[in-house]
């Protein structure tokens, strides 16, 4: 390269240029020549290596190589090569004994550029790693993005320290040692980041939260699906399509409800009661029992129960002339038996989990009859449909058992009562 520089100087001097001007001009020409060489090498490397990698990616069934091509990871890596070549060759254009300050300046620019391009390449590579692992079932619901972000922040911080050390001509070790004294200030500045990182580790280690989980957190107005877990925020898409952002450490320090257990279980619970008017409860006479026998779900129940009660009353010499004596069926008891068999007949009720019909404490609004069972359908919309169908049927069938639902008096009831009194 030095021989080329002398040859260029001789040619420029022969053209009549002053020797000093020729010397400066030939340095510039050599620099341009170096730049042209590095650009040519850059395009050649990208054409050869990128072309080979694209052909290889098409032949394989792996997705990671396709992502590398789509995210232009090879291109970002190749940008480092020309900067390294310029850094190595620039002393030939500007020798240190002639242009020490200019050479140091150009090499600093090259070094900073190499660090910046390297940081960009590493960051893009980490994003590709996150995408690859996010597509795997075992890692799909893990909060990997927070860990990727903390690695990126650490790498960029180290890169920034190296750039500062180049600009001020200090060793990076000296700068890192100086940061120890300002650790308290750094902890204050990066408090949320540090807390988020620690909280992310706790959430992941204890499997408390995954992307895709349905969570409820009233304090932050969150009721929806977790769409993203990052270093500084957990994004929840609520069912009204709004987005709620929660600090990760809030999920560790405060209480929240995760519905994942319900989603992974074989059924989703339905627990609802209907208030029966206590005045409509009575013993079953023979006419009522004959009517109930015609209901296919409880035919065997009526016959079996009557036989059991008849045997009991005979053994204890009960006087059947008074209904209070002995044991007798009630319309409410028959209704409860019907509800149990009705739940057993529904294909959407999980029979392996608990299902029952029970009394709750009577109140001034009647006797609450609670249905407790699990729907095998867990998706929200069809689940609500199953629940509505069950209670639609119950409300319609209650009068068939001589019972009535308790309901407070409304304005229309008072108007009807007034109209009847007026007609009399």
Which pLDDT belongs to residue 264? 82
- pLDDT 10s digits, 135-185: 776 666 566 666 777 788 788 888 888 888 888 888 777 777 666 656 666
For position 183, what pLDDT does the model report? 61
pLDDT digits (tens, 9 = 90+) for 64-120: 666 776 777 777 777 788 888 878 877 777 777 777 787 788 888 888 888 888 888
State both tokens at 421.
Answer: 């009194």
Q: How far apart are CA 50 and CA 73, in angstroms?
A: 10
**Band (238; pLDDT cuts 50, 70, 90):** very high
Least reliable range by pLDDT among 27-36, 239-248, 317-326, 384-393: 27-36
- Distance, in Å, from the CA atom of 405 to the CA atom of 368, rounded to the nearest integer, reads 10
Tell me the pLDDT band of 421, cut-offs 50, 70 and 90. Answer: low
Identify the band that residue 418 occupies on the pLDDT scale cut at 50, 70 and 90: low
How far from 336 is each of 264, 300, 301, 344, 396, CA to CA, in Å?
31, 15, 11, 13, 15
Phi-psi domain of 109 (left: phi exceeds 0; alpha: psi -120 through 50; beta: other): alpha
pTM: 0.56
Beta sheet of 257-258, edge-to-edge order: 243-246, 234-238, 222-229, 214-217, 257-258
Q: Which CATH number fits domain 204-264: 1.20.1090.10, 3.20.20.70, 2.30.30.60, 2.170.190.11?
A: 2.30.30.60
Please state, rounded to an integer, the average pLDDT across all residues of the chain. Answer: 81
pLDDT one-digit tens code per residue, 24-60: 555 667 677 777 877 777 777 777 777 777 776 667 7
Q: Which listed CATH number (1.10.3470.10, 3.30.930.10, 3.30.70.100, 3.30.70.260) goes with 268-282+330-411?
A: 3.30.70.100
Is residue 20 over pLDDT 60? no
Distance CA 57, CA 37 (A): 29
The neighbouring-strand residues paired with 272 are: 371
Query: Which pLDDT band, with edges at 50, 70 and 90, does 420 fall under?
Result: low
Judged against a pLDDT cut of 70, whether residue 419 lies above it is answered with no
Percent over 70 (pLDDT), the chain:
78
Residue 215 β-bridge partners: 224, 258
> Per-domain residue ranges for the chain?
2-140, 204-264, 268-282+330-411
pLDDT of residue 408: 81
Each residue's pLDDT tens digit, 186-225: 666 667 777 777 777 777 767 788 888 899 999 899 999 9
Q: Residue 22: is its pLDDT beyond 50?
A: no
> Is residue 267 within 8 Å of residue 378, measured between CB atoms?
yes
* Euclidean distance between CA atoms 340 and 64, whole angstroms: 54
């Amino acid at each position: 390269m030095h021989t080329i520089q002398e040859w260029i100087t001789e040619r420029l001097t022969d053209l009549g240029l002053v020797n000093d001007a020729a010397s400066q001009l030939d340095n510039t020409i050599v620099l341009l020549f170096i730049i042209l060489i590095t650009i040519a090498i850059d395009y050649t490397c990208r054409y050869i290596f990128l072309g080979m990698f694209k052909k290889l990616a098409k032949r394989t069934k792996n997705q990671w190589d396709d992502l590398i091509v789509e995210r232009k990871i090879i291109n970002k890596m190749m940008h480092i090569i020309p900067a390294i070549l310029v850094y190595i060759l620039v002393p030939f254009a500007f020798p240190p004994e002639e242009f020490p300050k200019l050479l140091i300046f150009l090499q600093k620019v090259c070094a900073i550029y190499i660090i910046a391009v390297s940081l960009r390449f590493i960051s893009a590579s980490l994003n590709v790693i996150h995408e690859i692992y996010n597509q795997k079932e075992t890692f799909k619901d893990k909060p990997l993005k927070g860990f990727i972000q903390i690695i990126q922040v650490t790498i960029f911080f180290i890169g920034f320290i190296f750039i500062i050390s180049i600009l001020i001509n200090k060793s990076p070790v000296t700068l890192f040692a100086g940061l120890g004294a300002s650790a308290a200030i750094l902890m204050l500045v990066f408090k949320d980041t540090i807390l988020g990182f620690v909280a992310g580790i706790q959430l992941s280690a204890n499997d408390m939260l995954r992307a895709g989980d349905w969570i409820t957190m009233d304090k932050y107005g969150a009721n929806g699906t977790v769409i993203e877990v990052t270093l500084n925020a957990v994004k929840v898409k609520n069912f009204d399509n709004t987005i709620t952002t929660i600090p990760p450490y809030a999920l560790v320090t405060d209480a929240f409800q995760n519905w994942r257990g319900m989603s992974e279980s074989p059924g989703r619970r339905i627990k609802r009661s209907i208030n029966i008017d206590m005045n409509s409860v009575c013993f079953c006479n023979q006419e009522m029992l004959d009517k109930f026998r015609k209901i296919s779900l409880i035919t065997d129940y009526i016959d079996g129960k009557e036989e059991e009660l008849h045997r009991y009353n005979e053994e204890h010499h009960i006087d059947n002339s008074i209904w209070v004596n002995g044991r007798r069926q009630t319309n409410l008891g028959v209704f409860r038996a019907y509800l149990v068999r009705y739940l057993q007949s529904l294909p959407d009720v999980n029979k392996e989990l608990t299902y029952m019909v029970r009394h709750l404490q009577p109140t001034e609004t009647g006797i609450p009859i609670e249905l407790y069972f699990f729907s095998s359908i867990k998706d929200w919309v069809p689940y609500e449909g199953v629940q509505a169908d069950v209670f639609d049927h119950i409300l319609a069938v209650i009068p068939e058992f001589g019972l009535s639902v308790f309901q407070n008096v409304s304005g229309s009831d008072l108007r009807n009562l007034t109209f009847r009194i007026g007609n009399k």
